[in-house]
Amino acid sequence: MRREIGVAVIGTGFMGKAHALAYKAVPNAFPDSWKPRLVAVADVSEVGARQAAEQFGFERATTDWRTLLDDPEVQVVSITTPCSLHRDMALAAIAAGKHVHCEKPIAASSSDAYDMMKAAEAARVVTQVGYNYIKNPILKLARGMIQSGELGDITSFRGVHAEDYMADPDIPYSWRTDPQNGAGALAEIGNHIVSLSRFLLGPITQINAQLETVNKTRPVAQGSSERREVKVDDIARLMVTFERGCSGSMEANWAATGRKMQLEFEVFGTKGSLFFSQERFNELQYFKASNDPRTSGFARIEAGPAHPPYENFTVAGGHQLGFNDLKTIEMAEFLSAIEHGTPAFPDFREAWEIQRIVDAAIQSSAEERRIAL
């Protein structure tokens, strides 16, 4: 019998459901892992909490998330609520001795993220933050190729995360456009490309940013003629310098009409380059510098069993992983860190570093100057 570990999830929206699906999938995809036991789920809506409990098999549902922290059957808490709630929930869970998974962005400011990080490290609980895209086996390959020198000296990075779910100016004002949750597109999706750049190339030391609000007002409610001023960005553009010496550019845009998941990057080196798109995330394009123009060109590397833990999901290349599989890998690594008493990645410290970059970009844009970290 595998050891069980009690899990509670706070929030039943898109990410709450993704967490529940992932926890349920872990024992089948990773047979040596501890088995998550879905003890409780909390949501501000009683109906939502009960529906989630019934759908995913949680043992109980509640509208009071604090009761989860008093439950001795709960060892792990997943926080999937709006960002402005993360700090208080995480600090309370840490104080209760729970291991904490928190969705990104970790907090609305780097100061809040710092408090969360220091509390977790003092309590010696395992933490993880939901940058699930870097769990892609093909991206672990990319990182390894960069670290081993296959691309030579890295000369530049170019990245973008663009979607269109906020493109319509009549989408109502919500927590997403509330400054209490930090910057808009930059904090909501831009931190993914920041996370990817750090995963591949390491720390960022300088930032020069421009933030732009395209939709300057939004209805206060669906169909309302009353509108409210928007003070967060729809588009963020960053020029950055990496500690390793190269520079790069990044864009975050949640008003990119027609784009559903354009999380893409290019890494250029003296011996080759890599291109990746989340819209085809089972592929990595690799260019190897050659003196023969007849055979020069990008080669497509297709994800398969040679890229662990792809084989945990399917035994053949070309069959492809999906979004929820990445979330399952994320949760499996989190539970493994808890089991073995090792740090998870990305943890609260890494998320604090990412939030520092977000804050510096906001400051850079407001003051129209380059910011050094």
User: Tens digits of per-residue pLDDT, 176-229?
Assistant: 999 988 879 999 999 999 999 999 999 999 999 999 999 999 999 999 999 999
Beta bridge partners of 7: 38, 76
| Three-class SS state of 18 | helix
Query: Cβ distance 155 to 269 under 8 Å?
Result: yes
Convert the pLDDT of each residue in 59-99 to its tens digit.
999 999 999 999 999 999 999 999 999 999 999 999 999 99
C-alpha 364/C-alpha 186 separation (Å) is 13
pLDDT of residue 294: 79
Cα dihedral 356, 359, 365, 370, rounded to 10, equals: -30
Determine what percent of the chain is predicted with pLDDT higher than 90.
Answer: 97
Q: How many CB atoms lie within 10 A of CB 64?
A: 10
Given a contact cutoff of 8 angstroms between Cβ atoms, the answer to whether 138 and 276 are in contact is yes
Residue 309, SS3 per DSSP = coil
What mean pLDDT do residues 100-114 have?
97
Residue 333 banded pLDDT, cuts 50, 70, 90: very high
Cα–Cα dist 163/231, whole Å: 19
pTM: 0.95
Please name the helix (run of DSSP H) or strand (run of DSSP E) that holds residue 350, with its range, or none.
helix 348-367
Name all domains of the chain by residue range, CATH numbers in brackets: 4-132 (3.40.50.720), 134-321+352-372 (3.30.360.10)
Instruction: Specify the pLDDT at position 292.
Output: 80
Going by DSSP bridges, is the β-strand pair 204-212/371-372 parallel, antiparallel, or unpaired?
antiparallel
Spell 163-192 as b/e; 16+ CB within 10 A means b: bbebbeeebebeebbbeebbbbbbbbbbbb
CA gap 53, 49 in Å, rounded: 6
How is 81-123 classified by DSSP, letter by letter? S-GGGHHHHHHHHHHTT-EEEEPSS--SSHHHHHHHHHHHHHH
How many contiguous H segments (helices) and E segments (strands) does the chain have?
Answer: 10, 17
Q: What is the largest CA-CA distance in the chain?
A: 67
